[in-house]
Structure 1
Amino acid sequence: MAKKEGASSRKPFTGKEVHVPCLNKDRYGATDFEGCVKVGDNVKDVSRRVYTLKDIDIHQKNEFGVTNLELMKNGNAPYAKDGT
């Protein structure tokens, strides 16, 4: 029978902001996330760099009355303040 890992033995994902010279720092942020997940018997590295738009209002509603927060919770992309 397989040994089940406890939640306390798992390492959490870690992230740190990074400086990217060509990135518009007023509009975007860059963060490097590091971590692994276990899929079946294999451990997979899911580390990546994530770019985020800084001008997102989570309370802004789209034309259907759905907020950006609700969109993101459902896995959809939010709208920026300029409507894009």
Structure 2
Amino acid sequence: MTKAYIDDEQDISLNLNGHKNWYRIEQDDFRAWANAIGIPWASVRIALNDTMQRAREHWPRLLANSPMLPEHQALLKTHWRQLPPEWRIDTP
């Protein structure tokens, strides 16, 4: 995750259904990707939902216990709160 280290970074590395901006990517973009490569959307959706459940469960605690500088942690928490609802991770 480079968001905490690169000022105003808003793009993911690869294009996903014509989008690279963190704040514009939605589940429909993953659905289009799954269709384009011939993977059943249901399988991808399950993996996405499982990943987000685990991220929401573990990342806040892992971040709090990481050696990352507090100002970088704050940037990452802000980033998580600004993501579309399906990717959002709420932290204290």
Q: Could you say which TM-score interval applies, normalised by the shorter chain?
A: under 0.3
The two structures have a TM-score, normalised by structure 1, of: 0.21
The two structures have a TM-score, normalised by structure 2, of: 0.20
Structure showing the higher helix proportion among its residues: 2
The one of the two structures with greater contact order (alpha-carbon pairs below 8 A, sep at least 6) is 2
